[in-house]
């Protein structure tokens, strides 16, 4: 399913910038941006009970998984593996994005959105790491609701 078509069908406006493949926040910082917005870290996590979470936070903010686990009423968060990433979000490392929930047909993954992202334009991959789109936070919530996934703002 073409993610840009889905955004269009949901009347979600966005700007897009094509670029060389990027795999890390450091790679992203090397690009000359024409897009305005806040870049994010997207961490695909699982807990001791086998629940999956996609934690989205500002790119320059440090993630503390112990504090996060407490905030989301979970225990012992760790990074999910590549097989789980492909299985649940249809993504590969380096292309992790909240838009990947379009591939989560059973709505297994809960998104955890850092409150600092609220009311901002977010820079996210359109399910590939060779482009970035700028999308309003409110439109991301609209997209998440369309996909049927749960989310929480912390």
Query: Looking at the domain 3-153, which fold is it?
Result: YbaK protein (3.90.960)
Q: What does the pLDDT read at residue 152? A: 97
- d(C-alpha 64, C-alpha 35), whole Å: 28
Q: For the chain (length 154 residues), average pLDDT per consecutive 10? A: 92 95 80 86 95 96 94 94 97 93 97 97 93 96 98 96
Alpha helices by DSSP H, listed for the chain, are: 3-9, 25-29, 65-71, 82-89, 137-147
Whole-structure pTM value:
0.93
Give the pLDDT score at 1: 66
pLDDT at 33: 78
Kindly list the domain boundaries of the chain, sorted by start residue.
3-153
């Amino acid at each position: 399913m073409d993610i840009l078509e889905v955004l269009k069908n949901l009347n979600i406006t966005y700007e897009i910038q094509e670029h060389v493949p990027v795999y890390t926040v450091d790679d992203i910082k090397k690009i000359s941006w024409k897009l305005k917005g806040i870049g994010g870290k997207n961490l695909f996590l699982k807990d001791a009970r086998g629940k999956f979470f996609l934690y989205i936070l500002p790119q320059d903010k440090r993630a503390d998984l112990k504090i996060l686990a407490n905030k989301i009423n979970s225990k012992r968060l760790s990074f999910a593996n590549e097989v789980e990433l492909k299985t649940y979000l249809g993504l590969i490392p380096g292309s992790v994005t909240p838009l990947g929930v379009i591939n989560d047909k059973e709505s297994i993954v809960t998104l955890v959105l850092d409150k600092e992202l609220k009311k901002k334009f977010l820079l996210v991959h359109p399910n590939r790491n060779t482009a970035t789109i700028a999308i309003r936070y409110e439109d991301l919530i609209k997209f998440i609701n369309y996909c049927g996934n749960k989310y929480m703002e912390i």
